[in-house]
Amino acid sequence: MRKGSKHTVESLARMKGVNKGNTNRRGVKLSLATRRKLSLSHMGHKLSKKAKSILLYWSIGDKNSKWKGDKVGYRALHSWIRRKLGDPKECVYCGKQQPFDVRKIICWANISHRYLRDLNDWIALCMSCNFQYDLGKINIDHIISSSIAHERH
């Protein structure tokens, strides 16, 4: 059918007859009373353990349909790192600790500045040390090399 043209009365009647026995109810607006009845009929129904495990399996990590891999945003990547590595307690550069000095909040800083999902590419720095590192004013190479040597032994 061309754009702008309308169905004839006969073609509309034919389409109506074809859909008469159709149980597909997509697009049908339900009344408020019907929606309440449906809601009440679903209450108390619980998923089986098998169904829960299947849903959980397909919703975690890279199996999730919305997983972005290394194309993830800044905040989402930082929250992923915090879930995997936990909350850092102490700045590895200046030694400030998290709960005692409120002005110095400790966070995970990216070493390579490429922001990939590599857990070895993150280091715990306070906000001021992180800012100084991003500007290139402090060098943390000696900390990185000592932590890598410590991991190997």
Tens-binned pLDDT, residue by residue, of the chain (153 aa): 677 788 888 888 887 777 666 667 667 888 999 999 999 998 888 889 999 999 888 888 888 888 888 888 989 999 899 989 988 888 888 888 876 655 558 889 999 889 888 999 999 998 888 999 989 888 888 777 766 544 433
- Is this structure's pTM higher than 0.75? no
Tokens 């449906």, residue located: 38
Distances (CA, A) of 92 to 80, 84, 134, 139: 21, 18, 15, 12
Name the CA dihedral angle for 147, 78, 100, 136, rounded to a multiple of 10 degrees: 60
Domain residue ranges in the chain:
72-152
Listed as own residue / partner, the contacts of 24-33 with beta carbons closer than 8 Å and 24 or more positions apart are none
